[in-house]
Structure 1
Amino acid sequence: MDLFAQSWTALRTAVDGLPDDDFAAPSGCTGWLVRDLACHLIIDAQDVLITLVTPTDEEPTRDAASYWEVAHQPPTGTDPLDALTVRLAAAYEQPRLLKFHLDDVGAAAGRAADLADPGQRVRTRGHVLTAGDYLGAYVLEWTLHHLDLVAHLDGPEPPADGLRRSRELFERIAGFAFPASFSDSDTLLVGTGRRAPTGDERERLGPPAARLPVVLG
């Protein structure tokens, strides 16, 4: 729960500190500018709020790892929902409006997470998880998107604790561990297909390199 707050606060702070020109820069998400990513974060914050007020008494069907749907083809940026995000982001026109909305909804999502009972079961995307597992999955979401945010900018990396936990969770999802010589950031970037492994990295990975990328959705 603490890592959720830490990673979410760091990501929102990073967005808030961007100069206006940076919102027109490419992000680490294929087909999205930084402004599109910021808009997506607003939608994510809304999802967190909706999920945390959708309790259920049913038994959990997923945990923080199995919450994710896995594919092996990187996104092309042409998915209808991705395209909708681009249009929504453009409608804001001014970066300060994106910042304001993200701060407003994002702060509310953070407060809801602070108040949540980790053992409470919640429903989302047709599945049931404990609130703790759901928010744990979002540590990975925030960490990946923090890396996306600064992919082409001179900005701060995600918090080290969030990177470490996200690597552990990603390796559970992937079903194999990256060599210790890979940094946490490189494990996430290479593992999810955000960048291709170098020849040396591919050699160090060995046979698991053929199983990359592990695309999370």
Structure 2
Amino acid sequence: MDHFSLAWTALRTAVAALDDEDYERPSGCAGWLVRDLVCHLVIDAQDVLITLVTPADTEPTADATSYWRPAAAPPSGDDPLAALIPRLAAAYGDPRLLAFHLDDVGSAAGRAAVLADPAARVGTQDMVLTTADYLTAYVLEWTLHHLDLIVDLPSAAGPPAATLAASRTALERIAGAPFPASFSDRDVLLIGTGRRPASAAQRAALGGLDARLPLILG
């Protein structure tokens, strides 16, 4: 849960540091500008708030690893919510309004996470998880989106080393195998999720794991 707060604070700080023109840059999410990604983060923050106040009284059906169900193919863009994001982001007009909304809702989500009982059970997406497992799963979400945010901003601050390492561990658990030790944590996340192609040498180092990639996380 500490990693959740660290990853979320770093991501929101990176958004707060954006200049207005940065919102029109491409993000690491195919087809989305930075402004679209930031709008998605607002919805993610709302989801966190909703889930933390949606108690469940049954045994957990998932944990921080099984929460992630890799898709067979990249998103086509036909999903109604995904298609809504660019239109909603554009409707803000002034990017500072979008940044304000993220700071407002995002701060609330961060506070709710700190106050949550780690052992409590919550329901989301037809799953029941402990709060600790739910927030742990989101460390990977925040870290990947932090990398998406700065893909065209080379001077921007990246995710903290601790959350990169935690996210690598999470992705290796989802993959069911470790990535080569020669891969940096950032390489693991970008290559493992299909955000960047592996070089010939990296593919050779991956061995049989290469056939299982990319892990397309929704």
How far apart are the structure 2 equivalents of 1:119 and 1:18? Answer: 36
Q: Match for residue 182 of structure 1?
A: 183
CA distance in 1 between partners of 2:104 and 2:49 (Å):
12
Q: How does 1:1-217 map to 2 (within 5 A)?
A: 1-154=1-154, 155-217=156-218
List per-residue Cα deviations over 1:142-190 (Å, max 9, x = no partner).
Answer: 0000000001112111011001001001110011110000000110100
Number of residue pairs aligned between Structure 1 and Structure 2: 217
Q: TM-score, normalised by structure 1?
A: 0.98
Per-residue CA deviations over 1:96-124 (Å, capped at 9, x if unaligned) read 00110000000000000000000000000
SS at match of 1:82: helix
Secondary structure at the aligned position of 1:206 is classed as helix
How far does the alpha carbon of each residue in 1:22-59 deviate from its partner, in whole angstroms, 9 at most, with x for none? Answer: 00000000110000000000000000000000111210
> Helix, strand or coil: the match of 2:122?
strand
Preserved CA contact (<8 Å) 1:27 1:152: yes
What is the CA-CA distance between 1:81 and the residue it aligns to?
Answer: 1.9
**Identical amino acids, percent of aligned pairs:** 66
Cα RMSD, aligned residues only: 0.9
Cα distance in 1 for partners of 2:38, 2:172 equals 27
CA distance in 1, matches of 2:10, 2:97: 19
Within 2, Cα distance between the matches of 1:165 and 1:20?
Answer: 31
Q: What is the rounded CA distance, in whole Å, between the counterparts of 1:91 and 1:67 in structure 2?
A: 32
Residue 78 of structure 1 and its aligned partner are, at CA, apart by: 4.4
